[in-house]
Amino acid sequence: MPDVLAASDDPVFGLHRVLDDACHATRDVGLDDDALLRMYRELRRLRLLDEKMLLVQRQGRIGFYGEVKGQEATPIATAFALDRDDWIFPGLREGAAMLVRGFPLATYLAQCWGNALDVQKGRQMPSHFSGRAANQVSWSSCIGPQVPQAVGAAMAMRARRAGSIAVGFCGDGATSEPDVHNALTFAARFKAPVVLVCQNNHWAISVPCRAQTAAPTFASKAVAYGIPGVRVDGNDALAVYEVIREAAARARRGDGPTFIESVTYRMGAHSSSDDPTRYRSNDEVAYWAQRDPVERFRRFMAARGLVTEASDAALLEELAAEIQSAIAEAERHGPPNRDGLFEDVYAELPWNLREQRDALRAAEPAKSH
């Protein structure tokens, strides 16, 4: 077995689980059958979406894509555990949380093209999904800054007495960044209504987590900040749901932040630009493939009588059609309006930018009829 930082026998934090080794739930987490079926659909859709979008990238139709394969449980379960008015500050692999909130799939995917359907107006890099309608803020490719942003937003919510909280995500590599340290220090000191989640997928691109920290686990870092630390099986969607829900309730009560280490694994490449065979073994990937969060949830659902081979086949066919339709819709749009270069910064455009905008409009070729 590979050397992994995922042992359940941590003497302080253990590993919070709901599903046992046979994929049976050891307790009821409060989700009825309809909610479980919705959660399963979201997990399946995200896995299939990644497969389709990687093919699109390999065909040269988009420039970049960051797949989630192996880590689907944390973003999907988090979205189920939060209230609709809560804010999400994702990293690379949590963007699909906004799909759980009903954000249109075609509009979501348009961000990878940066075209006229993209609500970000083509201003952001691919796989930086966000949308005001879903209360989700775009992450930054500079590792870690979304964590203090989440803390700041949480403080603003408290000042407004909104009753909402924020959730900020980072990876194991980001815990070495000053932004994460600053965020944890500030959040702890001022009891910000925030939940901070570290997805420990064992690799900060090519740097293994054991080369990232001397701490026994990432959850143990919470002790130094004076806040609760929780270590959860990130490949167990029910456990993640339970932990996030409890941490969110704690933040809402005014008891301050919680730092959660979600122990998972990136089964695919870091991104479409990465070749993971250069730095990790096939044995390690095979070990974690046996703990695939989507397959574990499928086995749980099957044992509960909610999923059959026939229903699964029908679901995959339905999802494939939905995704193909959304890709076609996203791809058919042209580039964003060039006037967007001058929008969303000033309430009233200054004279010099008005001149530049007018010059750009004058330089546009005449449209044929």
Q: Could you confirm whether 279 is annotated as catalytic?
A: yes
Burial of residue 43 (CB within 10 Å: 0-12, 13-18, 19+) is buried
Residues whose CB falls within 8 Å of the CB of residue 65, separated by 6 or more in sequence, listed in order: 50, 53, 54, 56, 57, 112, 126, 127, 271, 272
Q: How many residues does the chain have?
A: 369
Query: Exactly one of 158, 231, 266, 291 is catalytic; which is it?
Result: 266
Query: Exactly one of 270, 291, 296, 298 is catalytic; which is it?
Result: 270
- Structure tokens of 43? 């997990």
Q: Could you confirm whether 241 is annotated as catalytic?
A: no
Buried b (16+ CB within 10 A) or exposed e, 260-279: bbbbbbbbbbbbbebebeee
Helix (H) / strand (E) containing 168 = strand 166-171
In whole angstroms, give the CA distance from residue 42 to residue 315: 11
SS3 at position 277: helix
Helix (H) / strand (E) containing 75 = helix 73-81
Q: Could you confirm whether 101 is annotated as catalytic?
A: no
Query: Exactly one of 279, 338, 354, 361 is catalytic; which is it?
Result: 279
Are 227 and 30 contacting, i.e. CB atoms less than 8 angstroms apart? no
* Strand 207-208 with 203-204, pairing: antiparallel
SS3 at position 356: helix
The catalytic residues are 266, 270, 279
